[in-house]
Structure 1
């Protein structure tokens, strides 16, 4: 490999990324055979850049946990199998017992995604048990700090104060001592979602069910515990949420769309929620009364439930966001490409260039990956392989080549993960 001289960067242009967030309490169920509706795969023009998937109550029996420690859990494997052919890469994941958080990004964004930290915060059994709590992925996306939190808060109508207390505790525990990472409240964006378990106060079961039947959801909003808390809690007030225009997502009889018919007949509630918080914007100029042009802004495109899935007593909830940003980092730290014709008979050479401040390490490596592209994104004439440069110091992929072909007769060794490594 031959390194070229450092290169200059250019002024970045604003861009819009589409982020799709999924939250679902799966009640120990295995993945259904088809999740096309949940992942929006049934849409003709799937124009997403990032998938953020949070599950609660995954099977966390001892046999399942031991198996998942040695191998990918069934849900992670399912999402990888479905999303990989669409050019998505699992960039990071974190699990705490039944809580799972996954972050997928389109391959072209990988050089601009840096995973800074993953964290688990148990709040069950006085903070010692992870059946409740939160898991967090902290990352930099095009230079902006983003924290993603998937949580499972205490259940039952009477435990509203405890839910708020756990919300605060999870937030307080997202510190990054000894790391050059700002406090979570100084991050540009917090995405917070999960089975928050907030209920509908005061109204009786009959009134709630009749309101749902007649789609008078607004009649129930004023007694929704989370909506009430957001009006009074100074910190929660900074989190935004889309309108609840879908039926309450809990509690259903499994394998049906009927609300709880057991002896307990639990009152329906919007337990599964997706919130977000943007860092406070700069104040307006006192002379012009104009705000600076925003360089980072999140807008909600959709906030819906998916009633067709019945494997759990909860329905999944999704949000689609448009993230408008002016990249603080617009040039990949590494640009690399294959040199000459790659065949078994020739030596395989790679050239690369780097930005002046790139912290290279002798432990960096370059991998060759066989990929399958969605032809709507990349012309069919493009190649089937990518070169990726992994930075040991940054713990992330910092450079990706353009797709290219390897001529027939070349030899690639398949590793157990399905990733290909060249014999050089």
Structure 2
């Protein structure tokens, strides 16, 4: 039986600004739908040389600001990827982690003969409950007279985005593809004065008839098979930052819907992907662009799904003592001596960064009688917090993803006995 899962996507050209305080308000709106996955695609993130170097070692300010909002909502940063000013970050609920496999990132440079990354795409693909999904954040060439160049860049990205995973060798091969970003398509043959006159009267249809992307979707084959929700919001570019006024600079840009979200479904069955919301966020006036977001409902076979790694219930771990953990691995699962098990506070942001401690998995340690594997966490590396909740996660270096998450548990003091609640490992975590 298929369950309806929620997917929130947001795109914003931030024009090199720092994360504003109101970013939390934007993210809270995205989370108001209680999505299972939340994808943020930014363009023109400040990418000065020293910032690029820093980003190789620590998260950039935008990712840190987003993590701070997502963490209390128990959304984990699944993965992030960056191409110069393009930033793509994917968050998910904890209980979905063991079912997100074969994560792979890819980037395509389209700026300056394909050598410069100021324009292009940053993409993440994954398998989720037996379906392949691809999320791609784009920033294409600007200006109204560069319509054909944008279409050529589209072809370049589709040809270049290759993944050597199963039947998804190319971005187009996935069951679901989401393309979003500053696609930079403009209004064809409409003056600024005429566009503003229509907008004053809230007449969007005359502008939509001149929209280059809408015409491309209808009459050309670069985006064959892709769809877009009905646009019911004013153009998202170009504003005087900090105002609701369209460009009053000497350039006098014609308003346009440069910021878009497209999708394609290729499942060979009745449609199981549905867009429920598509709108802009006009109060986020910090950049010359307005953010655009969409909410989708996706039906996937969640019921009966079993993680590749299953932890035995953790009952009585005591502060100051070694902790022994047992788990089983599904047959034919690819393992490695570089796989590891991490201990995490229940409220954490990143699998690769936020562990309290970890141990290497030992693929040779399984008991012949039970088929169980066992590892030991040394007492000196364990937390002495008897109030926080924790989980164990098994990370596969081969598949570059989490294969199992334990039920939440607590460490108990030497003088206190506490029964741990048993949860199904792939069900939502219960938070007090």
> TM-score when scaled to structure 2?
0.83
Could you tell me how far apart the structure 2 residues matched to 1:111 and 1:271 are? 36
Please give the secondary structure, in 1, of the residue aligned with 2:317: coil
Question: Is residue 405 of structure 1 aligned with residue 410 of structure 2?
Answer: yes
**How far did residue 63 of structure 1 move?**
2.3
Distance in 2 (alpha carbons) for counterparts of 1:328 and 1:180: 24
Deviation of residue 298 (structure 1)?
Answer: 0.9
| Residue of structure 1 equivalent to 2:15 | 27
Secondary structure at 2:279's aligned position in 1?
strand
Two-structure CA RMSD over aligned residues (Å): 2.1
Distance 2:109 2:304 in 1: 34
Q: 1:305 aligns to what?
A: 280
**Aligned partner (choices 308, 312, 316) of residue 291 of structure 2:** 316
Check if 1:108 corresponds to 2:83.
no
Of residues 171, 196, 216, the one that matches 1:184 is 171
Q: Do the aligned partners of 1:144 and 1:188 also contact (CA within 8 Å) in 2? A: yes
C-alpha distance 343-41 of structure 1, shift in aligned 2 (>3 A): farther
Distance 1:81 1:163, change over 3 A: same
The whole-number CA distance in structure 2 between the counterparts of 1:329 and 1:255 is: 50
Q: How far is the alpha carbon of 1:328 from its aligned partner?
A: 9.8
The 1:247/1:338 distance shift into structure 2, 3 A limit, reads: same
Offset at residue 177 of structure 1 (A): 4.7
Paired position in structure 1 for 2:187? 200
Question: Structure 1 CA distance, aligned partners of 2:163 and 2:241?
Answer: 40
Does residue 153 of the first structure (1) align with residue 140 of the second (2)? yes
Shifted more, 265-274 versus 141-150: the winner is 141-150
* CA shift for structure 1 position 68: 2.0
The 5-angstrom pairing of residues 51-62 of structure 1 reads 51-62=38-49
* Pairing 1:48–2:35 present: yes
Give the C-alpha shift of residue 90 in structure 1: 0.7
The offset of 1:114, in angstroms, is 1.6
Corresponding residue for residue 394 of structure 1: 399
Note the residue ranges of structure 2 that are not aligned, 5 or more in a row.
349-386, 416-432
Assess, with a 3 A threshold, how the Cα gap between structure 1 residues 272 and 339 changes in structure 2: closer, same or farther: closer
- For 2:30 and 2:119, the matched residues in 1 are separated by 33
For 1:314 and 1:56, locate their aligned partners in 2 and report how far apart those are by CA, in whole Å: 10
Matched with 1:325 is 300
Q: 1:231 and 1:131 mapped to 2: Cα distance?
A: 28
How far is the alpha carbon of 1:48 from its aligned partner?
A: 1.2
SS where residue 318 of structure 2 aligns?
Answer: coil
Q: If the length of structure 1 is used for normalisation, what is the TM-score?
A: 0.84
Q: Which runs of 5+ in 1 are unaligned?
A: 1-12, 283-293, 374-381, 411-424
Deviations 1:302-361 (A, max 9, x none): 001001112210000000111112259811001114544111244312121222222222
Q: Which residue of 1 aligns with 2:339?
A: 364
Is residue 2:109 matched to residue 1:122?
yes
What is the distance in 2 between the residues matched to 1:81 and 1:102?
13
Shift of 1:84: 1.0
Q: How many Å separate the matches in 2 of 1:239 and 1:42?
A: 23
